[in-house]
Amino acid sequence: MVTLTATSLSSSSSPLNLITRRPFGTKIKNPILHNSFSYQHPTNSHLPSYQFKKAKFELSTAISSTDTVPAADQSSKDASFGQQTETSEKDEKFDWYAQWYPLMPVCDLDKRRPLGKKVMGIDIVVWWDRNENEWKVFDDTCPHRLAPLSEGRIDQWGRLQCVYHGWCFGGSGDCQFIPQAPRDGPPIHTSSKACVAAYPSCVQNGILWFWPNADNRYKDIFSKEKPPYIPEIDDPSFTSRMITRDIQYGYEVLIENLMDPSHVPYAHYGIMRAPQPSKSVKVDREGGRPLEIRVKTLDKKGFTAKSSTISDNIFIPPCVFYSSGSLGGNPDNISASPAGTTENPSTPKPVKKILLVFLCIPVSPGNSRLIFTSPRNFGVWIDRIVPRWIFHLNQNLVLDSDLYLLHVEERKIKEFGSLNWHKACFVPTKADALVVGFRRWLNKYSNGQIDWGTKYTGSLPPTPPREQLMDRYWSHTVSCSSCNLAYKGLNALEIVLQVFSLASIGIVAAAKQGALSAAARSTLVSVAIISFLVSKWLSHFVYKNFHFHDYDHASR
């Protein structure tokens, strides 16, 4: 089963040879790919092949895991972390409000009701406009008395209705009806003050994206600049199930954690299968080992990185980090077949391909959202048989297994200040090159932090109780169409089993002497006990998998 394997696939002993590339469809003003691994998409040869300009630097930690560095030398390295020595180009600040942001997989949106979300500190409402047959993204505020429109409804004419006073809005944010306005009076609903801010939005790769600027000049932004596109997600020969989870630590910590392959065998021990070194070099139970990772390019558009094998990783700010790889065959010698199946021309055996796609969404200080999918062109039949919520059980467990660690880590980084990350953390090995690359990008192009505008002071919210911190219901279950349906169904089954158990005991107790044979009585009592025990087990299963699972590393 494909789980959240993060970048562990790019390790040197992994069976997957990862080849990552910048998604096609992304507008690139200043292409930046190191000439050592330009790439043409094998299954979409008609699409353009992007190349990036030759890098003027290579970013990695200076030593391998077996080397040592004098303290003075290491301090010198740390001091140079924030220096802008890697390129001679003029530094440009990253504009956080001129980017596409993913909101939700379309499969988890309900056309019958509006949905409230927060992205980049902006409260938005997503709703289906059946008159225009499109998803709409509005500011989640009624202009009348500032009530949240996400608590409203879609009325019988397909308008978004605020349920506080009944004001109704069309797909462009225009107010179409004010119940309190006199019918023969002036048309006050046409006032610009009665309108709701409507954000540009689009559906791509089965995900709803939005542009966080409602200014009219961005109305047609999709025709000029598109979100990063990954063809395999839309490829019918691939399967790609998605999971969305709200997480109580910030975007910066989330994305650097996904860029860190070294934590996988330790933080996720027992729930993820990390590639193991040979027994002759295995020094602990978990099987950690040196990793060779080197960042090849870095500019405002993100960076690319290469591991000790031919695997690559790509970060496209602000949200996309992804990798791809192959099982079997030589991924450097592949071509597209007429049916669109990637094959090795020297053998008839198709190349098995898999991608790890992480969409990391900044919500507010100390809060983020992850959309994860892993497209693959093998084992497709599994997804046709096994319900999506079954996969989500293990993927949620993976997220829970290091959630508390990262929540605490974020607060310790905050004490030092994000610009001093390199002084607070000791990262002497090449395994940390991706994390160092991300922090360098953040320092260089965004002053070490997200630009929240005037929305927040920068302080983190207080740490909630553990059960609230690792809550699954409100962070995932309630907004996942598959898990929500399973949750309701299993709860209903639990009630049915309890009612059946009580009814069986009642029948035995009420039956007159001789009305039931001894065998029938024994059978009913046995079935009643079994039904009650199963209902109790089911209650525990539902709570543990859909509400809260406390992860204990020491017992692993």
- Domain of 313, CATH number, reads 3.90.380.10
Do 303 and 410 sit in the same domain of this protein?
yes
What confidence score (pLDDT) does residue 410 get? 94
**What is the per-residue DSSP string for 158-171?**
S-EE-TTT--EE-T
| Residue 20 one-letter amino acid | T
Cα dist. 179→166, 176, 182, 189, 397 in Å? Answer: 6, 10, 8, 10, 48
Q: What is the pLDDT of residues 176-209, one digit of tens each?
A: 999 999 988 888 899 999 999 999 999 999 999 9
DSSP string for 449-473: S---TTS--SPPPPPPPHHHHTB-T
User: Is 343 a domain residue?
Assistant: no
- Both 193 and 149 in a single domain? yes
pLDDT digits (tens, 9 = 90+) for 401-424: 999 999 999 999 999 988 888 888
Q: How many angstroms separate the CA atoms of 122 and 514, rounded?
A: 71
Q: How many CA atoms lie within 13 A of 296 on its CB side?
A: 23
CATH number for position 212: 2.102.10.10
Task: Give me the pLDDT at residue 279, please.
Answer: 63
Same domain, 397 and 255: yes
Helix (H) or strand (E) holding 116: strand 115-119
What length does the chain have?
Answer: 556
Specify the number of domains making up the chain.
Answer: 3
**Same domain for 514 and 410:** no
Residues 6+ apart with CB under 8 A from 186: none
* Cα–Cα distance, 129 to 114 (Å, whole number): 10
Residues 307 and 436 reside in one and the same domain: yes
Indicate whether 63 belongs to any domain.
no
Helix ranges restricted to H, 99-240: 221-224, 231-234
C-alpha dihedral (11, 16, 17, 19), degrees to nearest 10: -100
Q: How many CB atoms lie within 10 A of CB 280?
A: 5
Asked whether residue 94 is domain-assigned, the answer is no
Same domain for 261 and 323: yes
User: Domain range spanning residue 391?
Assistant: 231-274+290-327+351-466
Note whether 218 and 295 are same-domain residues. Answer: no
Which stretches in the chain have pLDDT values below 50? 1-89, 330-345
Q: How far is CA 324 from CA 174, 265, 524, 555, in A?
A: 44, 20, 56, 33
Domain boundary among 408, 435, 466: 466
Residue 3 lies in a domain: no
Let me know whether 316 and 380 are in one domain.
Answer: yes
Q: Is the peptide bond before 318 cis (omega within 30 degrees of 0)?
A: yes
Would residue 302 count as lying in a domain? yes
CA distance linking residue 22 with residue 73, whole number of Å:
35
Amino acid at 286: E
Alpha carbon dihedral 475, 477, 480, 483, in 10-degree steps, equals 160
Query: Do 193 and 304 fall within a single domain?
Result: no
pLDDT the model gives residue 365: 95
Residues 462 and 493 in one domain: no
**Residues 420, 517 within the same domain:** no
Which residues in 174-265 belong to E strands, given as ranges? 175-177, 198-199, 201-204, 207-210, 242-247
Does 166 share its domain with 184?
yes
Angle formed at CA 179 by CA 178 and CA 182, multiple of 5 degrees: 90
74 in a structural domain: no
203 is a domain residue = yes
Residue 375 lies in a domain: yes
